[in-house]
Amino acid sequence: MHGSDATGSPYAPHTDDERARMLEAVGAGSVDDLFDIPDAVEFDGEFGIDARSERETRRLVRTILGRNDDLTELLGRGHYGYYVPSLVDHLADRSEFLTSYTQYQPEISQGFLQALFEYQSLLVELTGLEVANCSMYDAATALGEAATLAERVRDTSGHRVLVPDLLLEGRRSTLENYVAGTDLAVDTYPTDDANVDLAALEELIDEECVMVYAENPTVRGTIEEGLESIGELAAERDALFALGTDPVALSLLQRPADVGADVVVGDASVLGLPTSYGMGLGLFATTEDYLRQVPGRLVGASEDATDRRAFTLTLQTREQHIRRERATSNICTNQAWVALRTAMHAAYLGPSGMVDLAERGVTRAEDLAERLDDLVGATAPVHDRHHLREFVIRVDQPAPAIADDLEKRGFAVHVVGDHELQVCVAGVPDERIDPFVAAFREVIR
Amino acid sequence: MHGSDATGSPYAPHTDDERARMLEAVGAGSVDDLFDIPDAVEFDGEFGIDARSERETRRLVRTILGRNDDLTELLGRGHYGYYVPSLVDHLADRSEFLTSYTQYQPEISQGFLQALFEYQSLLVELTGLEVANCSMYDAATALGEAATLAERVRDTSGHRVLVPDLLLEGRRSTLENYVAGTDLAVDTYPTDDANVDLAALEELIDEECVMVYAENPTVRGTIEEGLESIGELAAERDALFALGTDPVALSLLQRPADVGADVVVGDASVLGLPTSYGMGLGLFATTEDYLRQVPGRLVGASEDATDRRAFTLTLQTREQHIRRERATSNICTNQAWVALRTAMHAAYLGPSGMVDLAERGVTRAEDLAERLDDLVGATAPVHDRHHLREFVIRVDQPAPAIADDLEKRGFAVHVVGDHELQVCVAGVPDERIDPFVAAFREVIR
Amino acid sequence: QYEPLLSEKDQTRVEIGGNGGDGGSPLPDDLTRDSLELPELSEPELARHYTRLSQMIYGIDSGPYPLGSCTMKYNPKFTEDVAALPSAAVHPDRSERSVQGTLELMYRLQDYLGRIGGMDAVTLQPPAGAAGEFVGIRVAAAYHEHEGEGHRDEVIVPESAHGTNFASAALGGYDVVSLPSDEGGRVDLEALEAALSENTAALMLTNPNTLGLFERDIEEIAEMVHDVGGLLYYDGANLNALLGRARPGDMGFDVMHYNVHKTFATPHGGGGPGAGPVGVVDELAPFLPAPRVRENGASKSEPGYELFDPEHTIGKVHGYQGNWLVLVKAFAYIARLGDEGLADASAKAVLNANYLASRIEYEVPYEPFHHEFVASAGEQDAADVAKRMLDYGVHPPTTKWPEIVPEALMTEPTEVEGKDTLDRLAAAFNAVADEDDETLEAAPERTTARRIDQTSAARSPRLSWQALESEGDDE
Amino acid sequence: QYEPLLSEKDQTRVEIGGNGGDGGSPLPDDLTRDSLELPELSEPELARHYTRLSQMIYGIDSGPYPLGSCTMKYNPKFTEDVAALPSAAVHPDRSERSVQGTLELMYRLQDYLGRIGGMDAVTLQPPAGAAGEFVGIRVAAAYHEHEGEGHRDEVIVPESAHGTNFASAALGGYDVVSLPSDEGGRVDLEALEAALSENTAALMLTNPNTLGLFERDIEEIAEMVHDVGGLLYYDGANLNALLGRARPGDMGFDVMHYNVHKTFATPHGGGGPGAGPVGVVDELAPFLPAPRVRENGASKSEPGYELFDPEHTIGKVHGYQGNWLVLVKAFAYIARLGDEGLADASAKAVLNANYLASRIEYEVPYEPFHHEFVASAGEQDAADVAKRMLDYGVHPPTTKWPEIVPEALMTEPTEVEGKDTLDRLAAAFNAVADEDDETLEAAPERTTARRIDQTSAARSPRLSWQALESEGDDE
């Protein structure tokens, strides 16, 4: 318990005697002597941060976070609150996984490398593309990386990246930052029920365009019906087709490789993480053609000196620690441990569980929409399309007031128009649906 | 995810195909064919227990246990709610510790054996006795085992076991059950401020007596002042002196070996477990003389075939799986994992932390007693003795009503007389003391 | 590979009170010890110590663990989460009204177990299987005493029974009458007839027995025991064979214990804690340990729960209510699986035992077995076979017991192993079966420690680091 | 030892929609894929798979981890508990009033970090150190643009800087001007003078630098940079050297990032997630990413918190607020240690580096270093030295970088190692120092995998089990 009641770090094991002997060994009279900081920039103030016992610290955080309301979240949009099996917590928390560094010494990191290799393989199956990296930060940054990839691999002098008009602000803004240092500019194409307006897109897409980005499902929960057409349009114009999606959607919806997608991005942490205030896992997959332009880490199979299969980080010459300013990305620390959790969750579900989870995202959304549609003062779904997990409701009363009232009753929903709300069923426990419908009935009166 | 949505066990990995192939291999048409149960005793009913998903099951337990009130417990008596460091949870939960069996194959159990060996060594230091076992169930059963040990090792025809008049009912009743199959009978000696009444004891103790049991601290939190005298009395009459205590008390109070104790029992889980509705860890230590009569498992050091130090369960011929009805106890499954946790917690504290924890049990009790004593309508401590952790308060108003009122304000205390309450400071966070004093002031008015 | 003892990493002596010179002790010297000497290590050092120790342990997540009669199931991770809920951490002396959640969970678990065993009343207090047996014995004694039959002083136990049966009966003060098996490995009815008398307090049986065989004559056995006024006790160690297919209560058993750390998948924890709830028929309910939990009938809409002492209770066998946190895990397991899950567990446990037996070269003399079987190592030494199996990366079966099978390899794979794992396990059995004695005696070779000398450990016991140090001093 | 891939244990193809014949799909075929083929395994099988994988990983609880510039501290277990609180799991689109706890924690952490770094305003959004650098670069660009200095197109980076500095500047569209070191291993002031110009947007510095040396001329450097209108960026990777002794803000830095997974002990997770909050001086605060957190002033007695967009914000660099769960852990660590704990951590980190350096036989050319030092393997190949150190059961240092030291062994023990561990680590260094090249090139011999062929892995990349299978098909 060195230090846990003392004033030093509770995680430094030195006894006074040891410290003295160490100072003697280095020939210093005190630890202060070891610092070579000019007086002028020495800090002799205080931070004013009190030390606390472990128990007190836990209580402090619990107290602070206890101020969050306990709401049933019907918010979706890449963060679904799917139940994460306890298995994932217990195994990912094994300290060998949790506390190890990036696998630059593969001989003592085989377990993590294999887990990441399996994660990559999961994405290869889901996307149909040949290459998936170990992770980007989240969907927004993965989209940014897709744009810079497009700039690198496209021979054209083009500079436009086309994104849907409804693109989430966080993604759009991040993308703008990622392309700020390039010649690229972000342009918008219109949508219809959140689906791509193909006619409009065809007009907008030209030789200036290096990438078209679409999402499936769309931000309104509709299933995109024009993927193949987008793929063809992009291919004709020699633009990359980047598709935004996630592992659960991919379990059921059209396979990106089958619709001509060149890059797939999104938040893979829909599996593996609870809603975590936006913390995510950037999914990034692409075709073999662009392998040497991929950002981020890649795990590859190899052999060790005894010719046994072994895994290692590979193609590292793409990366910043070797290529510096000519690297494919500046990413270093990534989301490896989240990728581990996602792989574990997917493995727990298995293909039948993943397909089932996705299909229930369709049927449960249908069921809820039908129940809301039955209420006087509400129409759902607004869009005459197939939906996955989320859909829009039209309400007679002003939407913001209804959302406020719902929140008071313990439910969080999106306002997407003066008289439009958006709700998501994924991750919402079955037994919270009835209370939600009841609350909805009350508040729209 | 085999079975997690299916109707079978979610923890049985068989696919339908595998099951079919296995049945074929054993030459059975169906699993039913493998059962050899006469029709008359076959069960064709239902339990009526619904299967639930993992998420639903967690919610069920959370909902049920959520009906427990959130009280600050000042209850003590062997269950103190000392803060258990997170380290203990995380390391003891490693599945190698948690899920392994008793170490009958020591070659693949060295880690657990060493941890238990270290636990035994901890108790040897704390008690000063040479032998500590791997665990009994709790303080009560350890006391029962001490009595049967006394019967085995005493040559006298004696049959009396002497215990204090204030002995907790759970301990007394358990002791009675343990000696029910022997010639022993449990008798009571009087106490003074919960301390042994030495004069009375001297009269009661005779050649019929095989064991005298005392506790330090006593059930009222007073520190026993007559330990050496008890030890001498017992030795003179050839009776065993069994002392009830715990690892925190032992860190500060007189060492059992120094006062002539032959056996030490108690709940060692005051370290390592939160209050767990009485779940405990029976501490059992004794002198080398009685080694071969000790109940329960013992870990010993040995060597392996390469002469390296190795650990193993030893002296197993005392145990039921070998000696059957002549075993020193019927115990088989014990509290090994709790012993691991206790050893971890003690190691986390270290000797300075343990002494400090005990000393704070003295000073914080003093401080609280003083503050309560300052209130009109209360006197504390009632007993003019030194206290560890707990003490008695005399109140002008009826004690049960005061305890009820305190509970309504979020504090649980003991009623020990019409106008006497008992409170315990150990494990109570510092910041709950002021509110307790404030609540106390209110309710005694 | 070797991990030093904590005491080899550090020993720090803390002086107490006036002795240390700081005079900081709040107690007079004559009430305190002089000093305390123990390792003083930092959190990172301890994390490494125990991580390293854990790496030298084979657990259920390491591979198959086919210990006969031990039912080494996979322990679902989520049960740890529910037992770790802050609301589960309550003091045992709380008022009943402030622990309604705890009481409700106990009430529900009593109810579940009653249904599963076909028993009318259940106590959760016994902290282990042997403690459950002892409760059964004490309940039987109290019952007979109450019936004016206090003279009954014998408990009959089959030779092949678990050692705890003998020890628990003896602890209860009974003479143990050992009962031989018949040629088929089951209770010998003639021998039973001979053993039964007006002095019989109870017969303790496991069913299926330790050979995995169902006692087909159980109805007749029950009648014989009841005819002489004895009680029939069911040792629940093998209940995992029968879930949803047969219930002790329906077979005529009067009292039984459940091993929740076997049948209901709570972790074994390296030896414990477990829990050994006891179920009884109505007639014996008044004798169960105090207190039990019941609905208090205070409110129709929201049931409340209370503790009560059975009328003729034997009192307590544990200071409080047993191993509460273990009971929480058992409840969660049962609630998760439900009827079908529990029945499926038994079905696949039996299928697995039969499949594994069909794949191994060792002879299995007794059948039809259920969830476990006992193979014979034949000319080989069963204990050596076990040591050698360690080298193949699997946990061996229980050995040399029951003695009815020469060089017994008592094997219980449980339902959690799939075909691939069973094939791997069978391959390990068969590899060892083909090896010579020399190889077996030299085993294990690939484990953390090589074969450990048990004899010298027992001859000169060194049970603490203090003993090792003083030994070092002597040298 | 070898653990099969999940795909080698099972591959199950699930047909979707009409294709499967069950017609169960709720979507028309043209909106769905045909099938999904992945491993379908049970929970016990997965528990064993990942347990086995974990056993093939060296983590911080396995032993010393002296990777230079990586600050591999012990990760306190309790920080996992607070991040796992159910109240921490909230959706990022929640209304501000419903996540007051989350906003308060972020506000407090912003405040803590500001004090520790001597910065006026902090954003928590960057999800990693490199993302923090990128924010710094973007903030600098926006600032210069706002000041009418949009022509500035150069960022100066010392040769010995972390690779991310170069890459982040390049991602921001800047030309990178590489700055040589002086003979002492520090910034060469003359070279700096030459590099600085009216085109200089920023100088990125680590202090102490990657040799562990404090840039003594930091005040002069700051003045020089500021004189040409540039900004001074602090790379926080080495902040663990300075806690409580010096603050970047006091040295003249305008913008900095913090690596909470280094300095504040959040776990590295096998590569991530980390978090890279960015602090700036007042002048740059209007350019920080949106949104930030501030008190809303609604109530004096109980402060409330709200999000706001800085006036000239650069927008976002993450879809939401970065790696929230990591931020919770960092907050808990800082709140646990407080002023004295943080200062003590740096003191002992520096003591440890100096002590370790004094014990090893390899030459350490540059000093006085602080929390890390760079030794030279001399005639040996540093990468081989690292491989051989694995055989001694310790993690090796970072190798071959910074290139200013030939065959660099960049070593940072951090404060969590005690003298005994440092002695053991030194013994491993010294054992390897005495070995010949042949031995080194054959290393490692005692690890799970032997030396792995990196060249062939890169030459014919096999990045998925599908690739391995199709390769198998080709053969």
Q: What pLDDT, on a 0 to 100 scale, did the predictor assign at position A74?
A: 98
Q: Report the C-alpha gap between A131 and D7 in whole angstroms.
A: 17
Inter-chain residue contact B90 with D80, CB threshold 8 Å: yes
Q: Does B10 touch chain A (CB under 8 A)?
A: no
Q: How far from the centroid of its chain's Cα atoms is residue D37's Cα?
A: 36
Tell me the chain A residues in contact with residue D172 when contact means C-beta distances shorter than 8 Å: 180-181
Shortest Cα distance from A356 to chain B (angstroms)? 10
Q: Which residues contact C194 (CB under 8 A, 6 or more apart)?
A: none
Q: What pLDDT, on a 0 to 100 scale, did the predictor assign at position D18?
A: 62
Tell me the chain C residues in contact with residue A13 when contact means C-beta distances shorter than 8 Å: 41-42, 44-45
Is the pLDDT confidence value at C475 over 60? no
Q: What pLDDT, on a 0 to 100 scale, did the predictor assign at position B320?
A: 85
Tokens encoding B276? 């767990």
Q: Report the C-alpha gap between C7 and B346 in whole angstroms.
A: 13
Q: Which residue of C has its CA nearest to A84?
A: C78
- E strands, B190-308, are 191-192, 195-196, 209-215, 240-245, 263-267, 282-286, 298-303
Half-sphere exposure of D194 (CA within 13 A, CB side): 9
Q: What pLDDT, on a 0 to 100 scale, did the predictor assign at position B4?
A: 39
- For residue B277, is it left (φ>0), alpha (ψ between -120 and 50) or beta? left
Q: Which residue of A has its CA nearest to D266?
A: A99
Q: Does A429 touch chain B (CB under 8 A)?
A: yes
Chains that touch A (3 or more CB pairs under 8 A): B, C, D
Return the SS3 of C333.
helix
From residue C7, alpha-carbon distances to C1, C11, D179 in Å are 18, 6, 52
The CATH number assigned to the domain holding B402 equals: 3.90.1150.10
**Number of domains present in the structure of chain A:** 3
Q: Is residue B7 one of the residues assigned to a domain?
A: no
For chain D, the average pLDDT equals 95
In this structure, the answer to whether residues B221 and B234 fall within a common structural domain is yes
Poorest-pLDDT segment among A282-291, B290-299, B313-322, C104-113: B313-322
Compute the average pLDDT of residues C273-301. Answer: 94
Q: Is residue A1 one of the residues assigned to a domain?
A: no
Q: Does D47 touch chain C (CB under 8 A)?
A: yes
Confidence of residue D159 (pLDDT cuts 50, 70, 90): very high
In this structure, the answer to whether residues B167 and B242 fall within a common structural domain is yes
Tell me the chain A residues in contact with residue C41 when contact means C-beta distances shorter than 8 Å: 2, 13
For chain C, the average pLDDT equals 95
Inter-chain residue contact B35 with C26, CB threshold 8 Å: no
In this structure, the answer to whether residues A423 and A436 fall within a common structural domain is yes
Q: Is residue A5 one of the residues assigned to a domain?
A: no
Nearest to C390 by CA among C64, C68, C75: C64
Inter-chain residue contact B87 with D80, CB threshold 8 Å: no
Smallest Cβ–Cβ distance between B363 and the set C26, C129, C290 belongs to C26
Q: What pLDDT, on a 0 to 100 scale, did the predictor assign at position A28?
A: 96
Q: What pLDDT, on a 0 to 100 scale, did the predictor assign at position B318?
A: 87
Return the SS3 of A311.
strand
Q: Is residue A320 one of the residues assigned to a domain?
A: yes
- The amino acid that residue B10 corresponds to is P
Poorest-pLDDT segment among A325-329, B100-104, D267-271: A325-329
Return the SS3 of D257.
strand
Tell me the chain D residues in contact with residue C76 when contact means C-beta distances shorter than 8 Å: 43
Compute the average pLDDT of residues C345-372. Answer: 98
Confidence of residue D142 (pLDDT cuts 50, 70, 90): very high
Q: Which of B344, B368, B399 is at the close of a domain?
A: B344
Confidence of residue C1 (pLDDT cuts 50, 70, 90): low
- E strands, A293-438, are 298-303, 309-314, 378-379, 390-395, 411-412, 414-417, 420-424
Inter-chain residue contact B11 with D43, CB threshold 8 Å: yes
Chains that touch D (3 or more CB pairs under 8 A): A, B, C
Smallest Cβ–Cβ distance between B306 and the set C67, C76, C450 belongs to C450
In this structure, the answer to whether residues B185 and B235 fall within a common structural domain is yes
Range of the domain at B385: 72-82+350-443
Smallest Cβ–Cβ distance between D55 and the set C55, C417, C420 belongs to C55
Inter-chain residue contact D163 with A344, CB threshold 8 Å: no
A223-242 burial string, b = 16+ CB within 10 Å, else e? bbbbbeebbebbeebebbbb
State the count of interchain CB pairs (< 8 A) between A and B: 41
Q: Report the C-alpha gap between B285 and B283 in whole angstroms.
A: 7
Q: Is residue B94 one of the residues assigned to a domain?
A: yes
Tokens encoding A117? 């290799």
Confidence of residue A326 (pLDDT cuts 50, 70, 90): confident
In this structure, the answer to whether residues A160 and A197 fall within a common structural domain is yes
Q: Is residue A8 one of the residues assigned to a domain?
A: no
Q: What pLDDT, on a 0 to 100 scale, did the predictor assign at position C301?
A: 77
Q: Report the C-alpha gap between B57 and B10 in whole angstroms.
A: 13
C183 by Cβ neighbours in 10 Å (0-12 / 13-18 / 19+) ranks as exposed
Tell me the chain A residues in contact with residue C36 when contact means C-beta distances shorter than 8 Å: none
Nearest to D60 by CA among D453, D415, D444: D415
Q: How far from the centroid of its chain's Cα atoms is residue D125's Cα?
A: 15
Q: What pLDDT, on a 0 to 100 scale, did the predictor assign at position D21?
A: 43
Q: Which residues contact B180 (CB under 8 A, 6 or more apart)?
A: C138, C141, C172, C173
Chains that touch B (3 or more CB pairs under 8 A): A, C, D
Q: What pLDDT, on a 0 to 100 scale, did the predictor assign at position C2?
A: 81
DSSP state of D68: T
Is the pTM of the predicted complex or chain greater than 0.95? yes
B229 by Cβ neighbours in 10 Å (0-12 / 13-18 / 19+) ranks as middle
Q: Which of residues 392-451 of D touch C (CB under 8 A)?
A: 416-418, 420
Is the pLDDT confidence value at B297 over 50? yes
In this structure, the answer to whether residues A25 and A125 fall within a common structural domain is no
Q: Is the ipTM value over 0.95, yes or no? A: yes
Confidence of residue B319 (pLDDT cuts 50, 70, 90): confident
Is the pLDDT confidence value at B307 over 90? yes
DSSP state of D34: S
Is the pLDDT confidence value at B20 over 50? yes
Tokens encoding B411? 């504090």
Is the pLDDT confidence value at C434 over 90? yes
Q: Does D58 touch chain C (CB under 8 A)?
A: no
Is the pLDDT confidence value at B295 over 90? yes
Inter-chain residue contact B300 with C3, CB threshold 8 Å: no
Is the pLDDT confidence value at D174 over 60? yes
Inter-chain residue contact D447 with A108, CB threshold 8 Å: yes
The length of chain D in residues reads 475
Inter-chain residue contact C44 with A11, CB threshold 8 Å: yes
Tell me the chain C residues in contact with residue A59 when contact means C-beta distances shorter than 8 Å: none
A393-417 burial string, b = 16+ CB within 10 Å, else e? bbbeeebeebbebbbebebbbbbbe
Confidence of residue C461 (pLDDT cuts 50, 70, 90): very high
In this structure, the answer to whether residues B188 and B41 fall within a common structural domain is no
Q: Report the C-alpha gap between D247 and D251 in whole angstroms.
A: 7
Compute the average pLDDT of residues A176-188. Answer: 96
In this structure, the answer to whether residues B222 and B265 fall within a common structural domain is yes
- Chain C residues contacting A, CB < 8 Å? 40-45, 47, 51, 76-78, 80-81
In tens, the pLDDT along D419-433 reads 999 999 999 999 999
DSSP state of D184: T
In tens, the pLDDT along A286-313 reads 999 999 999 999 999 999 999 999 999 9
Confidence of residue A4 (pLDDT cuts 50, 70, 90): very low
In tens, the pLDDT along D15-73 reads 997 644 455 789 999 999 999 999 999 999 999 999 999 999 999 999 999 999 999 99
Q: Which residue of C has its CA nearest to D393?
A: C1
Inter-chain residue contact A2 with B348, CB threshold 8 Å: no
From residue B137, alpha-carbon distances to A343, B129, B179, C83 in Å are 41, 20, 17, 18
Is there a contact between D389 and D432 (Cβ–Cβ < 8 Å)?
yes
Q: Which residue of D has its CA nearest to A227?
A: D31
- Chain D residues contacting B, CB < 8 Å? 40-45, 47, 51, 76-78, 80-81
Alpha helices in C257-303 (DSSP H): 260-263
A244-257 burial string, b = 16+ CB within 10 Å, else e? bbbbbbbbbbbbbb
Is there a contact between B314 and B302 (Cβ–Cβ < 8 Å)?
yes
Q: Which of B328, B344, B360 is at the close of a domain?
A: B344
Confidence of residue D187 (pLDDT cuts 50, 70, 90): very high
For chain B, the average pLDDT equals 95
In this structure, the answer to whether residues A159 and A95 fall within a common structural domain is yes
Is the pLDDT confidence value at C206 over 80? yes
Inter-chain residue contact C416 with D44, CB threshold 8 Å: yes
Is the pLDDT confidence value at D300 over 90? no
Residue with token string 């106990």: C106
Q: What pLDDT, on a 0 to 100 scale, did the predictor assign at position D354?
A: 98
Smallest Cβ–Cβ distance between B253 and the set C32, C246, C336 belongs to C32
- Domains along the sequence of chain C with CATH: 78-335 (3.40.640.10), 341-447 (3.90.1150.10)
In sequence order, what are the beta bridge partners of A132? A285
Shortest Cα distance from A3 to chain B (angstroms)? 10
Poorest-pLDDT segment among B334-348, C293-307, D343-357: C293-307
Is the pLDDT confidence value at C474 over 70? no
Q: Report the C-alpha gap between C166 and C130 in whole angstroms.
A: 10
Q: Which residue of C has its CA nearest to D55?
A: C55
A25-35 burial string, b = 16+ CB within 10 Å, else e? ebebeebeebb
Q: Report the C-alpha gap between B391 and B366 in whole angstroms.
A: 9
Q: How many CB atoms lie within 10 A of CB A317?
A: 12
Q: Which residues contact C4 (CB under 8 A, 6 or more apart)?
A: none
Inter-chain residue contact B5 with A90, CB threshold 8 Å: no
Residue to mutate among B1, B50, B355, with most A CBs inside 10 A, is B1
Is the pLDDT confidence value at A401 over 90? yes
Strands D12-15 and D35-38, by their bridges, are antiparallel
Tell me the chain B residues in contact with residue C350 when contact means C-beta distances shorter than 8 Å: 31, 34-35
Is the pLDDT confidence value at A192 over 50? yes
Shortest Cα distance from D26 to chain C (angstroms)? 28
Nearest to B116 by CA among C276, C269, D61: C269
In this structure, the answer to whether residues B102 and B245 fall within a common structural domain is yes
Q: What are phi and psi of B133, to 5 degrees?
A: -90, 180
Q: Is residue A67 one of the residues assigned to a domain?
A: no
Q: What pLDDT, on a 0 to 100 scale, did the predictor assign at position C178?
A: 95
**DSSP run (H or E) holding C423:** helix C419-433
Tokens encoding D192? 């700096």
Rounded (5°) CA angle A109-A113-A117: 170
Chains that touch C (3 or more CB pairs under 8 A): A, B, D
From residue A102, alpha-carbon distances to A334, C48, C206, D267 in Å are 9, 20, 54, 11
Tell me the chain C residues in contact with residue B30 when contact means C-beta distances shorter than 8 Å: none
In this structure, the answer to whether residues A177 and A282 fall within a common structural domain is yes
Q: How many CB atoms lie within 10 A of CB A306?
A: 9
Q: Does D1 touch chain C (CB under 8 A)?
A: no
Confidence of residue A323 (pLDDT cuts 50, 70, 90): confident
Terminal-to-terminal C-alpha distance of chain B: 61
Smallest Cβ–Cβ distance between A11 and the set C43, C76, C77 belongs to C43
Q: Is residue B397 one of the residues assigned to a domain?
A: yes
Q: Which of B344, B365, B385 is at the close of a domain?
A: B344
Q: How many CB atoms lie within 10 A of CB D183?
A: 7
Q: What is the DSSP string of B296-340?
A: S-EEEEEEBTTS-EEEEEE-GGGSHHHHGGGSS----S--HHHHH
Inter-chain residue contact A95 with C47, CB threshold 8 Å: yes
Nearest to A4 by CA among B427, C44, D413, B248: C44
Q: Is cis: bond before D66, omega within 30 of 0?
A: no
In tens, the pLDDT along B337-392 reads 999 999 999 999 999 999 999 999 999 999 999 999 999 999 999 999 999 999 99
The CATH number assigned to the domain holding B266 equals: 3.40.640.10
In this structure, the answer to whether residues B333 and B366 fall within a common structural domain is no
Compute the average pLDDT of residues D367-382. Answer: 97
Inter-chain residue contact D12 with A350, CB threshold 8 Å: yes
Is there a contact between A280 and A247 (Cβ–Cβ < 8 Å)?
no
